[in-house]
Amino acid sequence: MTQSNYGGTNYQIQTGENNTNVFHPAPPPAIEPRHFQIPFARNPYFTGRSDLLTALHETLGQTGAAALNQAKAIYGLGGMGKTQTAIEYAYRYFQDQPFYEWVLWVNASELTLAADFGAIASGLALPNHEAQKLEEKTAAVSHWLETHDRWLLIFDNADDPALLKPFRPRNPQGRILLTSRAQVFDALEIARPIAVQDMTALEAITFLFHRVDQAPFCNLEQRENSLEWQATEQLAKELGYLPLALEQAGAYMRVKKLSFDKYLKSYRK
């Protein structure tokens, strides 16, 4: 019998007159592939919200039993950018700074909640997911969430938090994030939700310039002497610094190739 060692792997070869036995090392255990199940592309115009994203990850990124059992919610009025913030958080900590191995998305409105949650079974290719009824898929997903870690589950539009109770795993091993117009989440035992605030004036102006594919003025003197900067500043203010309103205005200006000054005059009419 001869032994050879290559790169730390031991191969044993036993030779005889009429037979040769080769003993190979056992194959490594199968590793489940990383999975990103979000129905939206990353927003290339996402601007600001750095403090909010940092606060979110400081909470969701904690370790220990207390952190695992605590979901986090961000709330605010419609058009505040809650969904876009959740999307950016998911991409950032799955792709840019990998923290999660699985990212799962559920539209938590009353009409879609059960179906979206059940669809996770298909996305994860859980056993018998094609043959299972919706209730069985829901149970299978809950079991998976309780036996795997390093996942992020996002419930978007969770405006009625009580609806989520049957879908929240009892002993989650990953992290849960909600976006909602509600402000109280006692039904889910979520304390201290984070309010999504208006964009700052500078964030709103920077967003508008990026949305129409222009570089914002960096020099203070240029800003003070520029009608475009002044028009952008006034437009952002009149739109209430709301991300959705800013997005609609920026998209329209880009398609129509309008200046900020012309759009502002038209908007005021």
> Distance of CA 65 to CAs 70, 96, 136, 171, 212, Å?
9, 26, 27, 9, 46
Contact 92, 53 (CB under 8 A): yes
Nearest residue to 157 (alpha-carbon basis) of 120, 85, 86, 107: 107
pLDDT of residue 131: 75
How far apart (Å, rounded) are the C-alpha atoms in residues 50 and 67? 22
Residue-level pLDDT at 224? 59
Residue 66 has a pLDDT of: 55
Share of the chain above pLDDT 70, in %: 81
d(CA 235, CA 201): 10
The answer to whether the CB of 149 falls within 8 A of the CB of 60 is no
Q: Mean of the per-residue pLDDT values for the chain?
A: 84
Higher pLDDT, 129 or 188: 188
pLDDT at 186 > cutoff 50: yes
Asked whether the beta carbons of 143 and 167 are under 8 A apart, the reply is: no
Q: What is the largest CA-CA distance in the chain?
A: 98
The 10s digit of each residue's pLDDT in 143-182 is: 999 999 999 999 999 999 999 999 998 888 899 999 999 9
| Sheet (strand 20-23) strand order | 2-6, 9-15, 20-23
Pairing verdict, β 102-107 and 35-37? parallel
Does 84 have pLDDT greater than 90?
A: yes
% of residues, the chain, pLDDT over 90: 55
154 DSSP β-pair partners: 105, 177
Count of residues for the chain? 269
The pTM (predicted TM-score) of the whole model is 0.81
Instruction: Give Cα 179 to chain centroid, integer Å.
Output: 11
Q: Look-up: residue for tokens 């109280």? A: 184
Residue 98 is classified by DSSP as -
CA dist 112 and 229 (Å) reads 43
Could you tell me whether strands 151-156 and 175-180 are parallel, antiparallel, or unpaired per DSSP bridges? parallel
